[in-house]
Amino acid sequence: MACILIMASGITLAGAAEKKTIKMGILQWNDLVCPSLVTKKTMEKFHGYDIEVVEFFEWGIAFATLAKGDVDILMSQMNFVAWDYWTRYNKKLEKLSCSSHGLNQGIVVPSYVPIDSIDELNQHKDKFNQKIIGIEPGAGLMRQTREVIEGYGLDFELVDGSTAAMAASVKSALAKKEWIATIMWTPSWMTQAFDIKFLKDPKSLQQPAQSYYWLGRKGFSKEYPVTREIMAGVFVPLEDNIQMTGYIKEGLSPEEAVDRWLKENPVIQERWMSIGEK
């Protein structure tokens, strides 16, 4: 059962003269691709927008491009996972609206590894080669993991890298039944594709559930006040995001997964049709 929240109050026809052409940046992780495409399709189908998609594979490049104004909007985890990028560029950006909530992240190991808690890692450090495989060095999740390593006194090195390289390392380790420790977040295609488990955090050093936000280049809200409200009207709860990423796991493309989800939820589309008519 879909549970999309529609928040259309305050939208008027005053913005009818707004431009309908927008450049939307989309970070290429399924938990960001799916809700981004839901908003894109809503704006195009019901409100006549012409949206050009620019794909990104790294937070740093995406945030820098948005700050330069080369794209207009971008959805991202912001209040922790990508906090360092937000801090670096926020004077040239705007937080437009919350688009989803419930992101969790932490240290993971293969399900066949017989430990369940972060405080057990040191007992098996040699099997992990004393390494936790990381992602982009500027990600907030990397900063959190460094704090966790210090807080638990782990005799481990956090290895800088990229999300793609980390995923490849996990895939290789699982195929060989090797021990590997890395960091992940959910919802994510990786947590569905890989047989892994999150380690418990008895000291509660990791961050609580996080939110996703639409971010805009500086001045976007002033230029596109109605567009901003339309975007704020589409909130994708975690369970719906997980459902769409599940379709991708079954073999659908992100576009096909979103189209399937939209087709299965016609009532939601009927509500979206009226956004902006007041």
At 247, the amino acid letter reads Y
| pLDDT(246) > 80 | yes
- Least Cα distance to 107 among 46, 56, 168, 170 occurs for 170
Contact between 215 and 72 under an 8 Å Cβ cutoff? The reply is no
- Residue 226's φ and ψ, nearest 5 degrees, are -75, -40
Residue 2 maps to a domain: no
Residues 161 and 95 in one domain: no
Residues 48 and 122 in one domain: no
| Confidence band for 245, pLDDT divided at 50, 70 and 90 | confident
Residue 214 maps to a domain: yes
- Distance of alpha carbon 73 from the chain centroid: 14
Residues 114 and 93 in one domain: no
**Enclosing domain of residue 166:** 104-198
Residues 93 and 218 in one domain: yes
Residue 266's domain is classified under what CATH number? 3.40.190.10
Residues 48 and 110 in one domain: no
Residues 222 and 150 in one domain: no
Residues 214 and 98 in one domain: yes
| pLDDT(142) > 50 | yes
DSSP symbols for 100-122: EEEEEEEEEEETTSS--BGGGGG
Contact between 114 and 121 under an 8 Å Cβ cutoff? The reply is no
Residues 129 and 257 in one domain: no
* Residues 19-76 pLDDT 10s: 899 999 999 988 899 999 999 999 999 899 999 999 999 889 999 999 999 999 999 9
CA distance readout (Å), 14 to 60, 127, 170, 224: 36, 63, 51, 11
Residue 173's domain is classified under what CATH number? 3.40.190.100
Comparing 6 with 211, which gets the higher pLDDT? 211
* Residues 170-192 pLDDT 10s: 999 999 999 999 999 888 878 87
Residues 71 and 83 in one domain: yes
| pLDDT(16) > 60 | no
Strand positions, DSSP E, the chain: 21-27, 50-56, 73-77, 93-110, 131-133, 157-159, 182-186, 196-198, 210-217
